[in-house]
Amino acid sequence: MMDIIKIPAAMVAGMAIAALALVVFYDGISLPYFGQVIDGRLQNAVEAAKAGLVAQADLDAANAKLAAMTLRAQQAEALAEQARATGEKITEKEGQGDDALKASVAADHRGDGARWSASDINWLCNERRRLGIIGACGGGQSGR
């Protein structure tokens, strides 16, 4: 008669142990105030998936930074090329100005190498008057 009670009790105990083992190995044990105490297979799969997502997010962020830096480098190269072209134009204009100056100096046959225009003399007189230099514009006048 004891066997009638022992056999079903053993079966229930065996199923309880199997269910507990299945829960522990598959789901793990999570306690309310302590969180996940024992990681199960499911928890390990979740962690692996999260790690993969984090790695993918890091890779995507690095690729986005690379694309932005490549764009900035291309923009900087375009601006540098534009600056080079502008510098060449300025150098060319300076060369033309030097040629014009050399031609002007060559056309000047005076002995002092300088030629004063009427507007240059007028400017010089006005500057001397403004500064209060005695004898501005000749004649010993102070211009005041």
User: How far apart are the C-alpha atoms of 96 and 76, rounded to whole Å?
Assistant: 30
pLDDT in tens, 83-112: 999 988 887 777 666 677 677 767 766 666
Is residue 19's pLDDT more than 80? yes
Helix (H, G, I), strand (E, B) or coil at 111: coil
User: How far apart are the C-alpha atoms of 37 and 28, rounded to whole Å?
Assistant: 7
Q: What is the pTM for the complete model shown?
A: 0.38
